[in-house]
Structure 1
Amino acid sequence: MSIGNWTPTNPDAEIDTTLLEAGLTTSMEGRLEELAQILNPDQQANLASQLQLPKEKWLLALEHYNSEQLKALLRFFVRAEMLIPGCEVGDQSPAIWANKLLRQRGDRLTKEDLLWIRENTTNRFIPNGAI
């Protein structure tokens, strides 16, 4: 059992785009399994706090990414939740909001994407949220 630090989320906080870009780069480089080593402890704590922000903030932060980038960010959120303590967000995962934006654009996850998600998370809400 591990004990981490918990910092309450400020509902007025904004998404840290630098952290989001680091996640995007890590995902696109295929280095997600190294996430706990790539992000320092402060970045990990910041990510855990950021993941708690409301859906509306995430939708605004994610809307300017193209479909390929959204899929990479979705993979980042999936692995962060599994690899970084405090990043467990269940039915409020930004991976769900990334998938929602993809669907709005008419871009669906492929069978391979869905299999990858299934193999890489225990969060039963990803990719579609609570039904």
Structure 2
Amino acid sequence: MSVGAWEPQVGGPQNETKEGFNREQLLRLITIAESDTPFIESVKNEDKQASKLIRLPSQRWIDESDNWSSDQIWQLIRFFTQAEMKLPGWDAGAESAVIPLSKVLRQRSVPLTKDQLLWIRQHSNNRYLPYGPL
């Protein structure tokens, strides 16, 4: 029996950033949110297993949002709002990615409109969305 030293892998999937975001996956989530296809039918199995995304620390989402347009951020908000209701294990409460993403839109002077706020309320039972705990 030999004992060797474990060396962690440097780097990961090619499209993964140092913060752990897979931009190809985020693009898929945006596309799902934009689609007219029923939500559950649109989500691939690998994406259904990525529930950790919704609970990543707020600052990571704020930093990552620099790579996305305001419309793409809105689509991510739509995806995460629906995921909490429709995908097992995606409930996030006050840790939801929707909260920092909504903050980014406010900081960009593109706050959520009344229609967007109503959409979130209609598609979520998370009392913390979109602005977090008081």
Fold match (TM-score > 0.5)? yes
Match of 1:114 among 110, 117, 120: 117
List, as ranges, runs of 4+ consecutive aligned residues in structure 1 with deviation greater than 3 Å: none
Deviation at 1:51, TM superposition (A): 1.8
Deviation at 1:13, TM superposition (A): 6.3
Q: CA deviation at 1:37?
A: 2.3
In the alignment, is the contact (CA less than 8 A) between 1:27 and 1:73 conserved in 2?
yes
1:73 corresponds to: 76
Unpaired runs of at least 5, structure 2: 1-17
Provide the secondary structure at the position in 2 that maps to 1:98: helix
| Larger RCO, structure (CA 8 Å, separation 6 or more) | 1
Q: Which residue of 1 aligns with 2:56?
A: 53
- Map 1:84-95; keep pairs closer than 5 Å: 84-95=87-98
What SS does the aligned partner of 1:87 have? Answer: coil
Residue of structure 2 in register with 1:17 after alignment: 23
Could you say what the CA RMSD is over the residues aligned between the two structures, in angstroms? Answer: 1.7
- Distance, in Å, in 1 between the alignment partners of 2:117 and 2:133 is 16
Question: In the alignment, is residue 37 of structure 1 matched against residue 41 of structure 2?
Answer: yes
Match of 1:102 in 2: 105
Q: Distance in 2 between matches of 1:70 and 1:43?
A: 18
Task: Provide the C-alpha distance between the structure 2 equivalents of 1:99 and 1:72, rounded to a whole number of angstroms.
Answer: 11
Q: CA deviation at 1:38?
A: 2.3
Q: Deviations over 1:47-106 (max 9, x none)?
A: x12222211221222222111111111111100111111000111111111110000011
- Contact kept? 2:19, 2:60, Cα under 8 Å: no
**What's 1:5 paired with?**
none
CA contact 1:14–1:57 (8 Å) conserved in 2: no
Computing the radius of gyration from Cα coordinates, the structure with the larger value is 2
**More helix per residue:** 1
The one-letter code of the counterpart of 2:124 is: T
Instruction: State the identity as a percent.
Output: 31
Aligned residues: 117
